[in-house]
Amino acid sequence: MILLLADCIIVPGEATPYSSASILDPNLIYPDTDVVRFVQYQFNNGSDYTNITAEVNGPSTEQQIQMVKTAHQQYGKQNMTHALSMLAYNQSVESVTDGIQHVPDNGIVLVELIQRILKQGHSPTLKKYFAVSPSSNRTLDHAETNAQHLYQAGVPLIAGTDSVGSLNMNGSMVEVPFALTLHYELQNFVNIVGMSSVEALDAATRDPAKWHRVPDRGSVEVQKRADLFMLNFDPLVNISNTLDIHKAWSAGREASQLYDPAQVKAVPYPATLPDN
């Protein structure tokens, strides 16, 4: 994986330079970086795919195009692009990346761009709702509306797991614990985006396996990796039932042996978020 820049979900205003993130050389690129060599360096050292962080003050559109091209043409590998802002969405579509992570939260994606995403056939989209910040255009409403538009247009959406621990959401601290976020994402898919429960479950299982080209998992089949939940109640009746877990297995091992529920600080979601 190429990690260009650290993920940053909440920013005070919109233009926090990503170069201030705690990622060190050689995983940063600059305006004069030879990005082809950069991608070669990462793949020659065993990366499975490229992961470009497109952001304000991030790599230029031309650099992104070159990186995606190198990944694809020289290595036959995938390119994924993190894009939270309208600018980054434009760039990631321009670069013909395979997948875009997140939906923009600082504006409404134009119908023309959605049509291009569909036509290029390259963009399963992970959506997240973490980005709200006062005195900026980053709102939950933008993110939710964009996710609805993408879904209604037929763009494949897959569930994201993005978890950042504690974060400052408009002045109050919110816990975003690992693993629980995936369940919340499914609830959002059903309750906000308008998916059926079956579509939401596929978006967390077989669809990501397909889009990330990991054929050994994603469905319950002989020879596939046994990452399984056994639930107490049917998630097709109520998607929130994915949280009512009776047993879990990771690669065939019962997960209760590996995991301490006391370590998890759950918070209601999205009840603790600002409701704009």
- # residues near ligand NAG by CB under 6 A: 38
Residue nearest to ligand NAG (CB): 274
- As measured in angstroms, the least distance from the Cβ of 149 to ligand NAG is 15
The C-alpha torsion from 220 through 224 and 226 to 229, rounded to 10°, is -20
Mark residues 31-50: x for contact with ligand NAG by CB under 6 A, - for none: ----------x--xx-----
- Residue 51 binds ligand NAG, judged by CB under 6 A: yes
* DSSP code per residue over 196-242: -HHHHHHHHTHHHHHHTT-TTSSS--TTS---EEEESS-TTT-GGGG
CB of 19 to ligand NAG, least distance (A): 13
Q: List CB contacts of 147: < 8 A, sequence separation 6 or more.
A: 103, 125, 127, 157, 188, 192, 193
For the bound state, the minimum distance from the C-beta of residue 222 to ligand NAG, rounded and expressed in Å, comes to: 28
Pick the stretch among 129-137, 199-207, 228-236, 250-258 that binds ligand NAG (CB under 6 A).
129-137
Q: Compute, in degrees rounded to 10, the torsion defined by CA atoms 225, 255, 159, 243.
A: 140
Question: How many helices (H) and strands (E) in the chain?
Answer: 9, 10
Going residue by residue from 208 to 247, which x/- string records binding to ligand NAG, judged by CB under 6 A?
------------------------------x-x-------
Shortest separation between residue 31's beta carbon and ligand NAG, angstroms: 18
Residue from 230, 66, 85 nearest 146 by CA: 85
72 CB contacts (<8 Å, ≥6 apart)?
78, 79
Binding ligand NAG (rule: CB under 6 A), the pick from 136, 148, 205, 250 is 136
User: Which residue in the set 122, 127, 142, 149 belongs to the binding site for ligand NAG (CB under 6 A)?
Assistant: 122
Binding of ligand NAG by 257 (CB under 6 A): no
The token pair that represents 269 in the structure block:
């979601």
Question: In terms of CB distance, is 94 or 249 closer to ligand NAG?
Answer: 94
Distance from C-alpha of 195 to C-alpha of 11, rounded to nearest angstrom: 30
Q: Per-residue DSSP letters for 7-44?
A: -----SSS---GGGSS--TTS---TT--HHHHHHHHHH
Lay out the site mask for ligand NAG across 55-74 (x = CB under 6 A, - = otherwise): -------------xx--xx-
Does position 272 bind ligand NAG by CB under 6 A? Answer: no
Considering only residues 70 to 109 of the shown chain, the ones binding ligand NAG according to CB under 6 A are: 72-73, 78-80, 82, 86-87, 90, 95-98, 101
